[in-house]
């Protein structure tokens, strides 16, 4: 089985790869309806593994190939990233639910409510359930919200472009998997 890692890119490092290219290469690594993603993880982060020696875990997803349209998914990701950046510029996490419609346009308000608005619960399990329900995801809906929130925070803080790009790739990955995957093994 193919295992998707940084070695799949035709360059020394995947650090400069835009989300659309990342998705294209990721989906090219689907074999027999399975996508295996090599991760290098610790308590604080989870990154695409550089190679075999760096792999700490491999996630294998069953992919519904009828839902794989790299161009459409990449356009959706790029649009959402632009919206998240604009939301961050207009207040991001400081926008109160009761003021969201006044601060944000209709589309941005919907994006804020779905991807950025903090959970009302302090309980982590309840938060995960709430976030997954917002997205309607089968596999990693809560991760989509988490990654979107991280992007907003990075935009708010003025994080370096390389850091934002890394998080944008992670967002693209979970967004696409949430659309196309039936289950994780």
pLDDT tens per residue, range 19-53: 999 999 999 999 999 999 999 998 888 888 887 88
52-to-39, 40, 143 alpha-carbon distances in Å: 10, 10, 25
List pLDDT tens digits, range 65-98.
Answer: 999 999 999 999 999 999 999 999 999 989 999 9
Using alpha carbons, select from 178, 185, 172 the residue that is nearest to residue 19. Answer: 172
Using alpha carbons, select from 157, 135, 136 the residue that is nearest to residue 145. Answer: 135
181-to-19, 26, 50, 61, 81 alpha-carbon distances in Å: 18, 13, 23, 6, 21
Look at 45 and 163; give whichever has higher pLDDT: 163
The mean pLDDT of the chain is: 91
Using DSSP bridges, classify how beta strands 181-184 and 46-48 pair: parallel, antiparallel or unpaired. Answer: unpaired
What H or E segment, with its residue span, contains residue 133? helix 124-135
- Return the pLDDT at 161: 93
Six token digits for residue 5: 């890692």
Highest mean pLDDT among 1-10, 47-56, 169-178: 169-178
pLDDT at 171 over 90: yes
- Return the pLDDT at 59: 93
Residues 6+ apart with CB under 8 A from 183: 61, 62, 138, 139
- Return the pLDDT at 79: 97
């Amino acid at each position: 089985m193919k295992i998707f890692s940084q070695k799949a890119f035709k360059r020394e490092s995947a650090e400069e790869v835009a989300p659309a290219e990342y998705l294209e290469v990721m989906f090219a690594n689907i074999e027999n309806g399975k996508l295996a993603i090599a991760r290098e993880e610790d308590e604080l982060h989870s990154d695409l593994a550089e190679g075999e020696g760096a792999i700490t875990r491999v996630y294998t997803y069953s992919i519904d190939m009828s839902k794989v349209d790299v161009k459409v998914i990449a356009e959706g990701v790029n649009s959402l990233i632009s919206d998240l950046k604009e939301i961050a510029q207009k207040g991001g996490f400081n926008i109160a639910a009761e003021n969201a419609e006044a601060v944000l346009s209709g589309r941005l308000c919907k994006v804020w409510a779905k991807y950025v608005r903090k959970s009302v619960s302090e309980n982590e399990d309840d938060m995960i359930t709430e976030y997954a329900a917002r997205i309607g995801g089968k596999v990693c809906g809560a991760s989509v919200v988490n990654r979107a929130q991280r992007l907003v925070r990075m935009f708010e803080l003025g994080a370096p472009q390389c850091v934002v790009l890394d998080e944008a790739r992670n967002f693209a990955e979970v967004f696409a998997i949430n659309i196309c995957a039936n289950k994780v093994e």
